[in-house]
């Protein structure tokens, strides 16, 4: 099997795909032959141009996953341009802008902001794209969760809870969408030095050292460390796997 074309002919959507983990994943899927639609609130067109400059098939769409109108526009655009959809990577989420804080200092508005993107956004994207996924016959949904959902890290209760919800939603969707030939799985990264994280020194100072200390593979985790797991769940080798969460964190948590 030619690894360079294992996803040839597939149409893929990557939310939050303009930077960091999302862009690394979009690049890998495109390298494997998929036509990738980068859906991001900012920078989607620029990210798609970067991929096209490599000779890869990519499009950019300005999409806020927390907006019902935007997710419906995403589905309509894909329907009009391609008439089908095979892969959805729900990567968009709020993390890199968060500052560690005690539970009792987090207000409801901050909880709602995190859940609106990390959980409700995932719901809106999947709901809008579901007719296209059902028509595929071999669709793949991949959700980006987090290892913190298993470890219960302190000072980020709203984020931890949101990623726990992603894992539970992954399982519920897998059971409901299986009869349509759709697999639904999650990838749970450890602390990843992405573009956004580098822009939040307070987060890096508070999380990087404990993360390195607790890993069996004691080095920094980069977006490139996740793309293999994402590619696996997007392709044929994972066709009989659904409802699962794969932790990719250098051995900090054995799941």
Hey, which residues are catalytic here?
A: 159
Backbone angles phi, psi at 148, to 5 degrees: -65, -25
Phi-psi region of 72 (alpha: psi -120 to 50; beta: other; left: phi over 0): alpha
Neighbours of 105 (CB within 10 A): 8
């Amino acid at each position: 099997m030619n690894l360079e074309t294992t996803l040839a002919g597939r149409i893929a959507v990557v939310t939050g795909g303009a930077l960091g983990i999302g862009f690394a994943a979009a690049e890998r899927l495109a390298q494997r032959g998929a036509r990738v639609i980068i859906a991001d609130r900012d920078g989607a067109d620029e990210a798609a141009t970067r991929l096209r400059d490599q000779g890869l098939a990519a499009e950019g769409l300005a999409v806020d996953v927390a907006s019902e109108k935007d997710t419906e526009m995403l589905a309509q655009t894909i329907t009009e341009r391609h008439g089908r959809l095979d892969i959805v990577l729900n990567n968009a989420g709020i993390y890199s802008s968060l500052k560690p804080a005690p539970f009792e200092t987090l207000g409801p508005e901050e909880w709602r902001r995190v859940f609106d993107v990390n959980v409700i956004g995932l719901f809106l994207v999947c709901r809008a794209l579901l007719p296209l996924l059902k028509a595929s016959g071999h669709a793949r949904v991949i959700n980006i969760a987090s290892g913190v959902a298993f470890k219960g890290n302190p000072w980020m209760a709203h984020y931890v809870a949101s990623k726990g919800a992603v894992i539970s939603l992954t399982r519920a969707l897998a059971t409901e969408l299986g009869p349509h030939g759709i697999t639904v799985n999650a990838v749970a990264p450890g602390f990843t030095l992405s573009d956004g994280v580098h822009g939040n020194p307070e987060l890096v100072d508070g999380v990087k050292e404990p993360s390195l200390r607790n890993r069996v593979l004691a080095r920094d985790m980069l977006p490139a460390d996740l793309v293999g797991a994402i590619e696996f769940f997007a392709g044929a080798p994972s066709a009989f796997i659904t409802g699962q969460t794969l932790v990719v964190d250098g051995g900090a948590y054995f799941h």
